[in-house]
Amino acid sequence: MAGRLRGADRTLAAHFGRGRRVSGSLERLIYMANQIARNLATDADPVAATAQHIRSFWDPRMRAMILAHLAEGGSGLDPTSRAALLRLREAA
């Protein structure tokens, strides 16, 4: 499967394992963004900390995929992760 995919899909398929669908990868990114936001909720500025974590540790193609999801409404994103992604989008 990973050999047939291009761009972000190929990276995510390789990262998340063989046989997973691209939609499953997006669901995983949403889960990860929300989990990061929850883990950083006690930070002085959880939105900034979440945005910085995603900027620092996510592959650019992963960021592009979740930002495209945000542009389409961002269903499933928690308020903190949504705000962090909006901040990343504005900084881009």
Mean pLDDT calculated for residue range 68-79: 98
Q: Where are the domains of the chain?
A: 21-91
Structure letter (DSSP) for residue 18: T
**pLDDT tens digits for range 44-58:** 999 999 999 999 999
The alpha carbon of 50 is separated from its chain's Cα centroid by a whole number of angstroms, namely 11
Residue with tokens 């881009």: 92
pLDDT value at residue 5: 46
**pLDDT tens digits for range 7-29:** 544 444 444 444 445 567 999 99
Residue 45, CA distances (Å) to 32, 42, 48, 55, 90 in order:
19, 8, 5, 15, 17
As a whole number, the mean pLDDT across the chain is 85
pTM of the model: 0.75
Please tell me whether residue 56 adopts helix, strand or coil conformation: helix
